[in-house]
Amino acid sequence: MAQAPDLFEEEPQPDLFGVEAATPVYRPDPHKVRERLEKILTEVRTAHELPWGRASLYSTIFPQLILWLPEEEAAQLCFEFNVEMERLKAA
């Protein structure tokens, strides 16, 4: 007895245009990234104590944002951010 075909087996969808579409790659504008990082640094520099509501958020996103900048610039901004966070932790 022949085995019945699997009606739920997925077949690959044929390429309708003859070329495979490339997955778009997102690259943020470095100028906008710098603006955002400077805004965060300004807020951290003007804070008088750590328990302001954004400390945890900024500690998470700042290291992610600097990845979009040249290595030396990113290192300097990260250093400045860490100095300010340490100052707030000591306050």
What pLDDT is stored for residue 72 in this prediction?
Answer: 97
Spell out the long-range contacts of 54-60 with Cβ–Cβ below 8 A and sequence spacing 24 or more: 55/85, 55/88, 59/85
**Helix axis angle, 71-90 relative to 55-65, nearest 10°?**
170
**What is the tens place of the pLDDT at every residue in 41-89?**
999 999 998 877 888 999 999 999 999 999 999 999 999 999 999 999 9
Q: Of 7, 20, 87, which is closest to residue 49 (Cα–Cα)?
A: 87
Distance CA 32, CA 18 (A): 37
Kindly state the average pLDDT of the residues 9-31.
76
What pLDDT is stored for residue 5 in this prediction?
Answer: 67
